[in-house]
Amino acid sequence: MSVPPPSEDTARNPEPAAAPPPAARPSRFRWAWWLLAYVSLGLGIVGIALPGLPTVPFVLLSAYAAARGSQRLHARLLAHRQFGPMIRDWQAHGAVSRRAKRLAVSMMALCAAIMFLTSPKWWMAASGTAIMSVVAIWLWRRPEPPG
């Protein structure tokens, strides 16, 4: 059995050429992730000015969806002056800063007070307040970012 002579390429470069890294396959639902990223970012921005509509969960959801549907938006969110550190802390450690926790719980308490003052039935305000209480407990159980 004879061995074929080396080709001209392998004679000059004895190491086999490294295969190029596989290109990131676009997801079938990339458009849905893209849409979710932009809609949740829009809701988060509206939540800055509208009491009762949370900003942080929508921004985190936007970053999650953007990582799967729009690398450009994901990079912009990570580089954002205010949202970037919050997103990086969440992605790396599942952490929420103490300041963000205090602000979120304060806003929930304000919304609960407004609901009790304006709801036609007490149980309506009580059910909304109970949900916010569960969210506040969950939020305070999240770790804080290191450093």
Tens of pLDDT, residue by residue over 94-106, are 999 999 889 888 8
CA distance 145 to 97: 6
pLDDT one-digit tens code per residue, 28-49: 788 999 999 999 999 999 988 8
Q: Contact 22/29 with Cβ under 8 angstroms?
A: no
Q: What percentage of residues in the chain have a pLDDT greater than 70?
A: 81
pLDDT of 21 over the 80 cut: no
Tokens matching residue 67: 């990582």
Confidence of residue 22 (pLDDT cuts 50, 70, 90): very low
**Could you give the count of Cα atoms lying within 13 Å of 35 in the half-sphere of its Cβ?**
4
In the predicted model, what is the mean pLDDT of residues 2-25?
A: 48
Write the CB contacts of 105 (distance below 8 Å, at least 6 apart in sequence).
136, 139, 140
What is the value of pTM for the model shown?
A: 0.67
pLDDT of 128 over the 60 cut: yes
